[in-house]
Structures are given as structure tokens and as C-alpha cells.
Structure 1
Amino acid sequence: MALQPEKRQHIRTLMRLGEGRDACPAEHRDVIRRSWQRCLGEYRLDPCHPRPVRVLTQQALRDHQESVDELLHVARAGVDRLYGQVARLGYALLLTDQRGITVAFRGQSEQDRALRRAGLYLGADWNERHAGTCAVGTCLHDGQAITCHQGEHFDATHIDLTCTAAPITDPQGRVMAVLDISALQSPRSHESQTFALSLVNLHARMIEDAYFLHRYRDSLILRFDSAREFVHLNGRGLIAIEEDGSLIAANHEGRALIDAHLRRWPPWSAACLPGATQLFDAELGDLLGIPAAGEDQIRAFRARANDATCFVTLLEPRGRPRKATTTAAPRDASVPALDRLAGDDPAMHRLLKLARRLRNETVSVLIHGETGTGKEVLARALHDSGPRAQAPFVAVNCAAIPEALIESELFGYLPGAFTGGRPKGMRGLIQQADGGTLFLDEIGDMPLTLQTRLLRVLAEREVMPLGAETPVKVDIRVVTATHRDVTELIRAGDFREDLYYRLNGAELHLPALRERADRHYVIRRVHDELQAERGQSHHLRADAMSALLAHDWPGNIRQLRNALAFAMATAEGDEITLHDLPETCHGAAGPTTLTAPASLGSAPGSASPSTSAGAPPSADGQALLELLRRSAWNISQVARQLGVSRPTVYRRMRRHGLVAPNHQPVS
């Protein structure tokens, strides 16, 4: 029987490739080229003599089916679902075992004869060694999903087919089956099968996950996803664990997470795998004691995995009580003053866990955090949740008190100690905190001379007021805070090292609001606090919440509070919308760092601005000038680009002596 011209050309191409003359069409991918070379060099397949379809006997087929009986039972629903979506498009469906033997098949009865002739049938062998390059065989060899479209097949009798296959792997990552959909006829374009590849991949993962859940139905399983709403319905990652948190097995997404973790934190040995607590940067008690429900009734714990936020839920085995509740480390007792400071942010969970243990101690605490992150709020929560709660909490901002007054403010003075003092003298802030907590905010800005006196107070637990001859005993707990790097200040000679170690009995690091995974909780909490303070009720509309969640918040919680207060003051009615928020919240971009532009020439047709001093502006001034020119001196637009307010832009203009063209100097 004469071959069609297209098939003869296909055979000639393969023969030239076998002779060492690479004549593969340019559109054929490397994966197809490599498979053709295996067929010619390793399997010794002859392109001039296509092999007939190989179909196993009934007994041999049953042997293969029995070897994957558990998988076939689990996969049936996925197979039927996929076939239901592709049958009307002319596809048949094959499920093969790890040797390429078709152990499950779905096809239209009216195409039965044509499908049998093409080898798309139960018991057919699609191993690459026998059938040549094809979706199933090449997928088995490479372990990757693939579409083998028409002329990409090795055997000339298959070049009318289009086949798409994806591997199904066992919990150890080994290919145990292949899911394939094939059509007798299809469009010429390879891109026509893009959706087929995605669909088969999706259902292969579904079958793989169903098998995993069936296989480890008697184990604890952590299910995780990047979206809280989907973690229960179709969480992508599955990891089976022992009750001590050690890993048993993982699905495709779980193994990817483990591999990424090992690339970042290589183990001491190949046999050393991370536990669940290392993978999710969380306490075992948090993972095994996931809260009963959130506000939306979703039982999920927010965690960090390789610096990305994910949500984890726990699937417990049925039919037997779980020991984890008794073997897991006991959870810390509830402390309302501290608990309300965070939602489900892992970093805050760790910080508050340490704070709960420190609340009853007298050890000094140093709180680090950017401006506005809530350092004083945390310090007051420590005080309110400890044994000194009924005693004074005295807060001192070391950066706000004039240097000339800070000594008298802190240590107090006797009558007549200096000119201009109170006639009866004054108890210093340290004495006022006797029995309670002294909170020294921005301790990094305290003058060196006062650092020496403060060190003596901490060492001797006594204070010497100005003009006094006898020290006064004080019982205080000292909590300090700073946004500065104290170790850098020590190296620069601006902070005493011995004082640092006195203050740093324990260190708490508050994350910036932009780094927190519980921003939604923080926004709600601040909003509720403002409503209670103002006696008002405002609903946050979805567009406003989205803008608040997307903003970078360089001023952290303090800036968030101001933005919400502004919105509540200006909103019409009882609903806060995007347009009620300050302009800086309307875009997701944060503050822009000013850099000197390459060229400072005026835009064509624009007037040249003047500077108040007649001298060229500094690098920062030049950068601001360039932004002003590009925006045609629209101050609101520049403020949005910089993530600051309009008054701040005007202040910067005054600082650099910038005056808008055809306008009077800003005042």
C-alpha cells in the first residue's frame, strides 16, 4: 500500500537524522529531537518499517491492572471528569501504568474501530521503546507533561494523531502512571493543544493528590495554599507528618516546597530533612492546634514558607483519637493585652510568645522597630499584663525633650537647684515610675552624658535628683525602644556599650506593617479603636480596604491610624470609600527614593524655575526639581509619586529654594 506523501517525507527526515544529518523541521522542539535520537540510536527503531499496534492479552492486561488497583480505584472519578470535558471535542482518554500499558480507557463507541486501529484502546502499549516518540512514552521517559502533535510522532502511522500526556507521581516523586488524551484529527497548529495540556496537567495533579490523601489517610496531613479561601477546597500542597512534626511524604507542591527550603538551607546530610516547623516557620503547637475557626469559619493558620505567606490547615485521620493534643507543647495562656496586638502573622506570633514569658519578669526589654510600628503600645501591653499593672507606666520620648531639660525631667531636682526651677522642686520621671515601668522611647537619641547617669540608675536602682546629696531608691522595670541600629551607634561612639547590655536583657523586633501578613486584622483593629474613640460607626467598603491593604505604609501603624481618622472625618455618610482616603493611599506604590536625574534641562516650552538663593540645588533638590518639571508643577501628582503629603512637598521645595515658574515663592 503506497504511503501518503506526508508520511514519506516524515520517514526521509528520520532517515537523514539517523545518518547524522540533522534535518528536523525548525518547529520541532528539543524534547522531540532527543526522543527521535533515542528511537534511532538506543531503541534501533526503523522508520521505514512502522511497528504494528501492540495490544496485551486479557490475562496480561489484568496483571497490569491489578498492580495499580489502588490507583485505578482512586483515579476513576478524575478520569470520568476529564473525559466528560473532552469527549465532545473528539478526544479519547488513556490511563497507563508506569510501563506505558493502557489500564483504563474512555472513548466514543462510534469511533471504536478507528481508535483500535490507532492503538488508542485498552491494553495498548505506548512505551517509547515500542511505539517510538509519543506523548505517553516520552512523558514516561522525561517525567514531564508533553503534547506530541501530529508529525512529532516517530512512527509514520501516528502522524495524524495529537496526544497530550501528564505524569502522575507517587508520594516519593516517582512516575507511577500517565494520563493522556488523544484525538484522531486536530488542527495543524501546535498551539491548538495548549488548553489540552493545562487540562490534563490539572487532572493529573488532582488524581495524584487524591491518591496521596488515600495513601496517608491514617496520618496527620498539612494542607497549604497561598490563598486562605482555597486551602480547604483545593489546597495545592500536601505534607504527611508524624505527630512530632517530622515529614513522612509530600505531594508535588509539597516536594517543591521542601526542595526550595533545602536550596536555601542545605542540610548537614542528604538524609536530614526539615520538619514541619522549619518548613512553615511556625511552632508545632500552632500547626497541630489550628484555631477552631476564624471570622469566616475557615480553619487555617497563616505561616511563612520560603519568605512567602501561605495558609495551612490540618487534616486529621478518621476513626482514631489524635495524640497530638497531648503530646504537642502546651499553648501559652491567653493574655488579652498582648493577644490583641496581632492576628495570624508568624513573626508577631513568635514575638508575643516571648513577650508572654517576659511579662512577669523584671528583666529589661529593648524593642526595635521602625517609626510608627507600635513600640509604645507593645511596652504598655507588657506592663498591663504583668504584676506591675496597677503601678505607674511612665513614657519618656528621649528625642522629644530638649537636651537642656532632659536631665531635670528624668532625675528631678530639689528646690533652688537651678534658676527658673519650680520653687518646691520636682520629682523626676524615674521616681514617678517607682513600682511600675519606665518606658524610654528613642533611647538611641539620648545624649552621652545622660547615658552615664542612666547606667548608674540601672546598676544601683537609685536616682540622685539635681541638688540632692542623698540618692533615692527606686523600684522600676525599664523598657526601651528605638528605630536606630544601636550597634552602629556604639561603633560610632554615640552610645555606651555597657548601657546597651544593661538595657538589652531581652530584645523584641517589631516588623514593619508592610511586612506583616495580618494587615487585614491590623486595619480592622485600628478602625474599631477609632470608632470607639469617636463614638461613630463607619463601614469600610471593599475598594477602601483593598487600597489600605496594598499601601506600603512607610509610617506604619501610626500612618494607618491617621489615614483612617482622616477618612472618618471627611466621609459623607457611614461608609468609607477609596475616595475618602488620603491621596497617598490611592496607589499601591510606596515612597519613591529621590535620585539625581541624568539631565536637568528644562522641558521644552517650560519656564525655568528660580531658586531663592540663586545657587544650584543639591542632588536631592535637583531630583525634586525634575519630578516637578515632569508633572508640570502639579504638586498633588508629585506628592502621590513620592508617597507623601502636599505640605511635605512644599516644605522640601522651601528647603531647596525651589519656586514654581510664574508663581510667588511658597510660604
Structure 2
Amino acid sequence: MHSASQQRRHINTILSYGGHQAMSKSYSPSHDIIGRSWQRCLTEYGLDPSQPRPARIVTHQTLREHQDSVDEFLNVARAGVEQLYTQVSSLGYVLLLSDHRGITVQFLGNKHDDELLHRAGLYLGADWSEQYAGTSAVGTCIQEQQALTCHRVDHFDSSHIGLTCTAAPIKDPSGQLLAVLDISALHSSRTPDSQNFALHLTQLYARLIEDAYFLRRYRHSLIFRCDKSRELVQVNGQLLFALDEQGDILAANSAARALLSQLNLHNQPRVSLPSLLECQWRDILSITYDSKDGTRAFRVSGTQQTLFGMLIEPTPNLMSKPATSQALTTQDEAVPALDCLAADDPAMRQTICLAKRLRDRNVSLLILGETGTGKEVLAQAIHASSQRGNNAFMAVNCAAIPESLIESELFGYAPGTFTGGRAKGAKGLIQQANGGTLFLDEIGDMPLHLQTRLLRVLAEGQVLPLGAVQPIDVDIRVLAATHCNIAQLIAAGRFREDLFYRLNGATLTLPALKARADKHYLIQTLLKRINPTVRLRADAMSALLAYEWPGNIRQLDNTLTFAEAICEADEITVHHLPEECMIHRRENPALLTLRQTAPEYVGASTLEADIQSPEQQALLDTLRHHRWNISAAAKQLNVSRPTVYRRMRQYKIVLPKDM
């Protein structure tokens, strides 16, 4: 806490500075920026340094409006923001990401300092515009369009002279200010030089986020990435150009725009990349094919400067055609039924590549993975994409069928075998799968005595129904799956080793959802299947990506189904997610704030004792009939979805948490 005398001294310094530009000659360039800001505060905004202003935190509604305006950007910036925070949090810094108007739309900080941070304005929804807060890193960065540190007494407002703040601008592909990245601390060394490293680190991450957003915006265009260093161009090429089909530059990142400005080309409506690099368009298009390392050297027109460039191929629309061909290293054939199961996760691509090779081979496959990772979905895709795809796919869960019934379910029975059985007997699942595929889920739970009979079917290609004398020839392909450790079951005498080798012609392993790199693709794919018209806002996507998903894809599917059912206006926000999806983010005050204002869709439906009118009962019965599917209920009642929600609130009917 700074003393009253320090504040008075600071106020007098600013007041005495007003109108005395000669003083700025003794300042370093960074102080020139601060001096200009002080002048704006005094003359343009009419701020009084002797009247400190409390931190201004905008309302939740206003905050949402600001977040919505940069929704796509927030989704891209999330990873960079969180990575930077992990670098600086142990040093006492908090992180603010503001929009171009100075409103903090994302914030990361230590919840133990929550009250102090809120009072200082280092908080979600804080207004750091220069017009309101005076000289500050965020507000002055917006005005000056360049990175700076606003250290202690650099601040205009005397209540901020204990803070140190460092900010860097983030611009959109057209060069307009999009956001400001800031790291701040409540306490710091008195010397401004102590923040030099903070300035460089903030600028680095601002550039990384800016470039990530550029790549996102122009992901469907050919992108030329280049750098002065051949060795670094593929991992950290600093110049990015988005190109059209003729080689004209559609957009450029900050570093590339600086080059165009240097050559006086930045104001021209059309600039051809081949003319800029003194080459032919075909020379750029052939980089990947003609060069050994995927890069090629180019001379910048009119200079002696050499740039090494590479191409980033356009990515197809994520939802209509998953990017698979480049991810596969050993199998390039497109198999839609399998390709749609993953995007660019390395483990999944390896599994899918192997599945493609083996889908038409007469070899049994064992699919391993945690519960809910999609073992049956993979088995169905293998069957559908195989030569057996037009025949039956029979699935049996060995853990779900009672032990007393599993034998008859699998092998069938002859007439008269059971009292009360069908007079003509019944075909078992093995016989029903003839010509197709038999999927044995949770094979590790199959009783030991049935393992012997199954082994005989696999070895001889024949099945003997219960009570029958003559075996029946069958042509089946067996796919088995388990989440158990088969080696441990064999060691414990609970699984036959010879059956294991019969089933394990090859092993396909599915990673846990938390370990997958393509969670974004899975979330969007599942949501499109549930309701193609609903979109996910960035705050919801961030929470879903951060959660660890112990129930894997099955839990994700249930979560999205629940969120879609309770969302309004066809948009899912963090408000609509179950409570457990935000436990992982409990350190993030931004999400805590959003949760405090979220609607409470977590209870059971209205109790029967609370029913007070026939209309209330009719609505409740309709919702139950459709298993709480709001769209289906609205269709039956011939009203809109918002009307159903409005009536639910009127009658105090609350959606159950577990759908």
C-alpha cells in the first residue's frame, strides 16, 4: 500500500508536467510514450490526478457483449493465454486480455488475491481504456499501438502507482487492433529495467496468438510462410501471406505487412507474391515437390534480402471433409467411415491407418481402450468399410448379458431345448452374423466355460446350438473389445491364453479422450449430429477442452446432449454445461464469475406435489414423454423452443441433470 505522501508527490509530478514538453527530452523513448499519455489525460480527457478513480468493472451483460464480439478470437487465443500465464504466475503476475476498447474479456489470476485484484481493476470485465483509467499499459497500448511497460509511477492514477503492467497489441489480418495482451503485478521492483524480460515475453506471446488467429482466419487459403532463416522457417517463420488462386496476397500478418510497408507496397490494392519475390507463380506452387526439406530461397524484389519460404496447404472444411490424407503416413486411401472418427490426433491416425489396412483381411481384431472411448463405433466403422459391410453386424456386450443367458444368446438353441423356449428354436448371434461381423464387447467378462466354446467356433468355423446334434457352418469375422488388462486376466486364470491369440490377430488401441489432440473436432462433430443449428461459444469450448473427461467420448456426448437441451437462442455457453465440466477451471476467476450468473438447470423436475394446474401437468407429461427433448416437445405443442422454456420457468419445471 502506497502512502499518502507518495500519492501527493505523484500528483504534483503529473500536474507540473502538464504543458512542459521540454521535460520530455530527458526521458527515454518509453517515457515519451508515457508523457504523451499524461498529456492526453490532462488536456483531452480532462482527468484530475488528485481525484483517483475506483476500478470500473462492467456488468455481466456488457461483458458478454464484449466477449461475443471477439468470440472466434478468444477461442484461438485460449491456448496462448494459458501458456503465458503458466510462465509468469509463479512470479506474482496476473494475465489480462482486453478487446480493442480496453475491456478485459479474459483474465487469469490467483484466487487467493481475488479481493485485492478486484479492487485494483486486475479483473474480468475491468475497463482499462485511457479515457477512464488514465495512463496504463492496456489503455496506452491501445492509443499508441505498440508494446510498452507502465511501471509504478508511470500510471496517471495515483491509486495505481504500486502496479507494474506490460502490454502488447494483437492485430487482425487487416492490421486493425484486435486485442491487447497484458501481464500485471500488484507488487514489483522499483526499477523499470526489472520488466524488460516481461516486455519481451508478452510481445512474443502476442505475436504467437496473432499468427494463430491469422492461420485460423485463412485456413481455407494457401499460406506462404517465410523467414530470414531456413532452419527456423518451418517452426517459427515470422512472415505469413494468405494467397488467392492467382498468387495475389489476400492478407498478411504484422511482420509481413512491415515488409510491404518497407517496399511502399502496403497501400496497393493488389500485390502479387511472385512479383514481390522475383519468381514465377509455379515456382511457389512447386516448393513441396521440388525441394528436399519443403523450403525454397527467394530474393525480395529490389533488395538483397533473401527469404526462405514454405507452403501451408489449405485445410478443407472441418465438418464436411476431415483432414486425413496428410496425417496418414502409410495409407493414403480415403475411407470415409473411418476417416470421420478423428482429425489430426497422432494416436488415432495410426489406429485408423491400421484399421484401413486390415478391414478386408480375414483376421480377428482386438480393440483396446477405456470405457467410453468408442470401441463399438470403431468396430462398426471397420465393418461398414469392409467387403462384409452389406451383411449383418451383430454386437453383444459380454458384461451386460446375464451369465445364464449368454450361452443361448451367442450359440442359439434347438427346438425343445428349454421349457418355455421357442418351438422352432432360435438362432444365436453367431449364426445371425453369418457373412458379416460379430462384435464381442467387454470380452474380458465372458465366463470361462464359454470361452472354450467360442474358441471352437473360431478354430472350426462351425457353431453348435444348445441341444443340437449337428454343427452349422458359419462365416464370420470377429472383432472383440475390452477395457481390461488381458495379460492380468490370463495370469489369474480367468481368460484362456489360446483364445486371446485367436482374437488378437492385431490390436487397435483407442486413446483416452483427455489425451487426444483433436478434441475440438470431436466436440463439433458430436454437436452437429445432435443439432446442426446450435453453436458453441468460446467460453463453453474452452471449458470442454480443459476438462479431463473420465467418461471419455460417451460422457462428452451426454454433456453436449444436455447442453443442447437447455440452451436458448441456439447457442451453448459455459452456463449450460454441467457443474463437473468446470471443476478443472476453478482457478480461473473468469469462469467462476460466469458460473455465479449461470441458470440453475441442475435439479430434478417439478415434484408431483407441486403441480398446481392442468397446463403445468400437460407440459411436464410432454417433456417426460420426449425424454426432455425440448425441440420434440415444442413440435408436439406447436410452439417455439423459447416458449417451452418460458413456460418451464413459469411453472418452475427444471430439467434433470442426468439426461
Shorter-chain TM-score bucket reads 0.3 to 0.5
TM-score for the superposition, normalised by structure 1: 0.45
- Structure 1 or 2, whichever has the larger Rg, is 1
TM-score for the superposition, normalised by structure 2: 0.46
